[in-house]
């Protein structure tokens, strides 16, 4: 865990060839946690091609991070890398400080980094594992948001990665699913709290998406059947989520706040 893109077969599609921008985010400055691979890489590529500069925060996957940086720079935008563990509130504040220093400000915050692990029995979940999941998935989201908001002007956007597990929790992902439910509530409350500041907060709820987290945290049987449970009968590619993040970041979505956009291969969230 958390896995590497180079080890994945087949390789995921992050929109390297398929995503074409149209200037929706021209001149914006974005922070993306977990931006080195998976959904984060797809969002970084899409944001750059829409005209945004990007700070990519990641744990320690330097090869993946530099690959994402390459794609951002090929789009003609600035890419800043920052490695470190977002469990640490000081590191979260350092991420925001670096974005302000090197990008000149923050218009978009994408809280995307996550930890997950599968367990068949609640007795197998250690106290440390439970606490780790909450520190990475929900505590860091609070630290980053709290640090970013003072730097965000009216029209800015916060986008949090929730999950299909927010509404239909997988019992083998008990800790992860619980944090994803918390993220959805955090987003809904945050949108109301920040409305008078002119800052929007929304979430994206992905279904089964083919990212490094999947083969690095699931059994071979689970990986083989991954995605077959949704109506489209396949996992989604990271590139298939990018437009949801672009839409929520787009200033033209100025009346969209407090919502969760489900990208689930046809499985409804009700």
Catalytic residues: 176
Q: Which residues pair with 54 in a beta bridge?
A: 30, 79
Please write down the long-range contacts of 234-237, taking CB distance under 8 Å and 24 or more positions apart: 234/265, 235/208, 235/209, 235/210, 235/265, 236/206, 236/207, 236/208, 236/209, 236/210, 236/263, 236/265, 237/12, 237/13, 237/14, 237/42, 237/209, 237/210
Nearest to 245 by CA among 84, 55, 72, 111: 111
Residue 220, judged by CB atoms within 10 A of its CB (0-12, 13-18, 19+), counts as exposed
Nearest to 16 by CA among 75, 56, 61: 75
CA 155 to CA 8: how far, in whole Å?
Answer: 38
CA 185 to CA 41: how far, in whole Å?
Answer: 25
| CB neighbours of residue 266 within 10 Å | 10
């Amino acid at each position: 865990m958390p896995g590497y893109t180079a080890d994945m077969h087949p390789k995921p599609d992050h929109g390297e060839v398929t995503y074409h921008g149209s200037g929706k985010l021209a001149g914006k400055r974005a922070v993306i946690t977990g931006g080195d691979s998976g959904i984060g890489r797809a969002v970084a590529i899409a944001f750059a091609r829409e005209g945004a500069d990007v700070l990519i925060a990641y744990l320690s996957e330097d090869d993946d991070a530099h690959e994402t940086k390459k794609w951002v720079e090929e789009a003609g935008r600035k890419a800043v890398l920052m490695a470190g563990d977002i469990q640490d509130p000081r590191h979260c504040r350092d991420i925001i400080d670096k974005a302000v220093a090197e990008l000149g400000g923050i218009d978009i915050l994408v809280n995307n980094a996550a930890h997950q692990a599968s367990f068949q029995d609640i007795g197998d979940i250690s106290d440390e594992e439970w606490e780790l999941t909450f520190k990475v998935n929900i505590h860091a989201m609070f630290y980053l948001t709290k640090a970013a908001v003072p730097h965000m002007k009216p029209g800015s956007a916060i986008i949090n990665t929730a999950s299909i597990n927010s509404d239909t929790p997988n019992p083998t992902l008990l800790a992860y699913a619980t944090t994803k439910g918390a993220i959805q509530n955090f987003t809904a409350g945050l949108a109301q709290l920040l409305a008078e500041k002119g800052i929007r907060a929304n979430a994206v709820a992905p279904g089964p998406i083919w990212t490094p987290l999947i083969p690095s945290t699931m059994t071979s049987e689970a990986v083989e059947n991954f995605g077959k449970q949704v109506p489209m009968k396949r996992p989604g590619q990271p590139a298939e989520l990018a437009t949801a993040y672009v839409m929520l970041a787009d200033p033209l979505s100025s009346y969209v706040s407090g919502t969760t956009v489900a990208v689930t291969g046809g499985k409804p969230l009700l």
